[in-house]
Amino acid sequence: MIKKEAVVLKAEIATKNEMIDFLIVLHEQAGNITDRDVFKDGILKREAEGPTAITDGICIPHSKNSAVIHAGITAVTVPSGVDCGALDGQAVKPVFYDSGAGGGSGYPSGSIVQIIHDSDR
């Protein structure tokens, strides 16, 4: 579900839009998507509904998306942080994008939520 080419540590990303573009490239390199523009459109539509940044500086952008051909997760860390509009106001440092094949539910998978939950222990 997660491939080494879909993980980047210590990325230099300054804005939310740069972060989204970066995640799209990772999914493309991992062979998870067919159409970069359709994929991005789905992400931006979901982001327009409200922030996908959760508390404690974590962001999990997600969407229903027909461009996804293989379910997968991308993971990026941004030491300087990125403002993703989190409700608690914290800059995002780890970012995950969960792509469900065939459009999926549009919600982050239980696996990401469990990883985050376990890391809080």
Domains of the chain and any CATH numbers: 4-119 (3.40.930.10)
Strands of 58-59's sheet, edge to edge? 7-8, 72-82, 92-99, 58-59, 53-54
Q: Please, what is the Cα angle at 39 between 82 and 114, to 5 degrees?
A: 60
DSSP string, 103-114: G--SS--HHHHH
Of 27, 62, 70, 117, the catalytic one is 62
Q: What is the pLDDT of residues 65-88, one digit of tens each?
A: 889 888 888 889 999 999 988 889
Whole-structure pTM value: 0.79
- The pLDDT tens digits for 25-73 are 999 999 989 999 999 999 999 889 988 888 888 888 877 788 988 888 8
H or E element that contains 96: strand 92-99
Minimal CA–CA distance to 47: which of 34, 60, 57, 37? 60
H helix or E strand, kind and range, residue 7: strand 7-8
**Known catalytic residue at 62:** yes
